Amino acid sequence: MTKTEIASTFKAALGFAGYDGARIRRNYDFCDLTGSTTCVRRIPLAAFAGYPQSYRNARIGVVFADESAGNSASEYKALGAPLLMTVQNDTVQPWAVGMDGAKPAGKSFRLQDTERVFRENRTSWGPDALGRMKTTADVSAHSQPDIFDTGLAPALARQFQTRLKELLGHSFQEIAVAYKEVHGRPAKVAPLFAFLFRFVTAKIFMDRADAKGWDGLNDPLDILKAAEKQTGLLDKPESDFRRKRILETAWASVKNTLHFQNLSVPDLAFVAESAFITDSTRDEFGVHSTPAGLADYIVNHLPWEQVPVDERVVLEAFSGHGIFLAKAMERLGQDLAPSLGPRARHEYFRHRLVGVETDPLSLEICRLVLTLSDYPNSNSWTNLYHADLFRWPEWKSKLQSAAAVLANPPYEAFSASYRRSIGATKTKPPAEFLHRLLQQPPRLLGLVLPQSFLSDPVYQDANRQMARRYDSIRIVELPPIFRYANNETVAVMASGLQIEGRTVKVHYAEVQKGGVEQFLEDWHVSEARSA
């Protein structure tokens, strides 16, 4: 058989193992950051469990081994697939792939038996079996079979994010040098970040083979304009950055060093916080971005079955880069009819995901996060609002229509002048937010709050209100979990809205200091009890 015929054979076999044909890619390009230098590799065939494709949902890869099959399998570990098939002559060998290399995963088989072997191994080679499937039935995750439990995805995530941050820092410095040489003065940090973010946005879409509207763009100014159109122009870079030398330096740096073929939404969220959110922004707005694993835990431990599918409007207050909205999109999508087409799904999400954020660049990142989460649909997120929530005139109407509210509010105490200007009755943003929120509580509530929520008198009214209005409350006490803040926190999930309840069931869990990484990966808690 030719290589094309072999690829077709495997594509059919993958279908028998439960893979959607739309999620099987031929000649898939992906970024490899595992070596000393960055490169883009291509694999003949790759199967994924979700969309958009990334190393986080890669499941099986197929390669042609011209030399040592084991070496060939190891070369493709950056794909993220825990199972690789090497084809050598008429023999197929399955390999379990980890960061340290590849090891045989069972016996080899004849190429002509491929479909039969995939049928027989459907339960262990399917998209769910090879992934780390988290369920709401328990606070732990169900792992894939031991032979594939390599920790490959988390290891790749750490490596990918660290290298990406380093490369972005390099691009930032190159642009800063060019700006100073052109203007004779250093650039302001905030607009430089916004300028760099535009080119990062452009490169993300240009690296995706199926992205529309980006072909044929070569001039840096044209690329910048296309990116500005994509991001929504909330924080347009200053005209000083549009000098030819600066534009060419920026695009050359991003184009030649940054590769996003395998980028996942949590990676983008990490990059947003670590590279594009400045220290002054963190101080001014009290920013402490929600880790993707924590948002995932909260969203998936809410009983969405209590809300009809067509009523699931989700409001993320203080939305930042929108990780709660992205995780809510994933969860809401699970209950949509399989027959619903991409456009109809996008319309569903567009009308049900609402975010409000005061920092313009964070909101643009949120827009990009949602666009990539719902890729390849268009960027038409009309319910993202650039506003201070405490002054937002639409707060009451949006809260009234929301079935679920998700939030990680800022923790820094109000200044006296700001507190007076918003008419706050509480001294701290989380307490004031809860005071306003619980005047019209939603059916589902998922919050990240300071640990003082459990004992500080400023939260006493909120605790009482929550106990009266919900019949089920889940609390997870957390050690410091934010990347750029040292706060101890609690995750609070409330459901079972009632007018005036007499009893409430409280489920309490705790994560120990050394267990943060495991909790973010598989929801493991060290202690749990109910009352």
Q: How far apart, in whole angstroms, are the C-alpha atoms of residue 29 and residue 520? A: 28
Q: How far apart, in whole angstroms, are the C-alpha atoms of residue 513 and residue 525? A: 11
| Residue of higher predicted confidence among 226 and 493 | 493
pLDDT for 332 beyond 80: yes
Q: What is the pLDDT of residues 434-460, one digit of tens each?
A: 999 999 999 999 999 999 999 999 999
CA 123 vs. chain centroid, Å, equals 28
Looking at the chain, the whole-number percentage of residues with pLDDT higher than 90 is 53
Of 140-154, 347-361, 403-417, the range with the lowest mean pLDDT is 140-154
Q: What is the pLDDT of residues 370-390, one digit of tens each?
A: 988 887 777 788 899 999 999
pLDDT for 236 beyond 80: no
- Angle, CA 374 vertex, CA 369 and CA 379 arms, to 5°: 70
Q: How far apart, in whole angstroms, are the C-alpha atoms of residue 447 and residue 94? A: 44
Nearest one of 293, 296, 272, 123 to 204, comparing CA atoms: 272
Give residue 145's pLDDT band: very low, low, confident or very high (50, 70, 90): very low
Question: Largest Cα–Cα distance in the chain?
Answer: 77
pLDDT at 136: 39
| Structure-token match 């009819």, residue found | 337
In order, the DSSP letters of 233-285 are: SSSPPPGGGGSHHHHHHHHHHHHHH---TT--HHHHHHHIIIIIS-HHHHHHH
| Residue of higher predicted confidence among 159 and 30 | 30
pLDDT for 341 beyond 90: no
Please give the DSSP secondary-structure letter assigned to residue 89.
Answer: T
pLDDT at 446: 98
Give residue 232's pLDDT band: very low, low, confident or very high (50, 70, 90): low
pLDDT at 392: 97
Q: How far apart, in whole angstroms, are the C-alpha atoms of residue 343 and residue 348? A: 9
| 444 neighbors 306 (Cβ within 8 angstroms) | yes
| Structure-token match 């290298």, residue found | 163
Other CB atoms within a 10 A radius of the CB of residue 311 amount to: 12
Give residue 485's pLDDT band: very low, low, confident or very high (50, 70, 90): low
Q: Residue 480, by phi and psi: left (phi above 0), alpha (psi -120 to 50) or beta?
A: beta
Q: How far apart, in whole angstroms, are the C-alpha atoms of residue 265 and residue 144? A: 22
Please give the DSSP secondary-structure letter assigned to residue 13.
Answer: H
Average pLDDT score over residue span 281-286:
54
Mean pLDDT rounded to a whole number for the chain: 87
pLDDT at 38: 82
Report the SS3 class of residue 45: strand
pLDDT for 234 beyond 80: no
pTM, 2 dp: 0.83
Which tokens sit at 43? 């694999």
Nearest one of 150, 34, 56 to 97, comparing CA atoms: 150
Residues contacting residue 268 through CB under 8 Å, at least 6 positions apart: 204, 321, 365, 368, 369, 372
pLDDT at 325: 96
Give residue 263's pLDDT band: very low, low, confident or very high (50, 70, 90): confident
The alpha carbons of the chain give a radius of gyration, in whole angstroms, of 24
pLDDT for 134 beyond 90: no
| 188 neighbors 239 (Cβ within 8 angstroms) | no
Phi, psi of 444 (to 5 degrees): -125, 140
With the C-alpha atoms ordered 154, 160, 161, 166, is the resulting torsion angle positive or negative?
A: positive
pLDDT for 313 beyond 70: yes
pLDDT for 150 beyond 60: no
Other CB atoms within a 10 A radius of the CB of residue 483 amount to: 11
pLDDT for 81 beyond 90: yes
| 367 neighbors 231 (Cβ within 8 angstroms) | yes
Q: How far apart, in whole angstroms, are the C-alpha atoms of residue 492 and residue 474? A: 6
pLDDT at 61: 95
pLDDT at 394: 97
Count CA atoms closer than 13 A to 37's CA, side-chain side.
4
pLDDT at 306: 96
pLDDT at 415: 93
Strands 314-317 and 404-407: parallel
Q: Residue 395, by phi and psi: left (phi above 0), alpha (psi -120 to 50) or beta?
A: alpha
Average pLDDT score over residue span 92-112:
91
Average pLDDT score over residue span 121-139:
67
Which tokens sit at 356? 């409000």
pLDDT at 208: 79
pLDDT at 288: 62
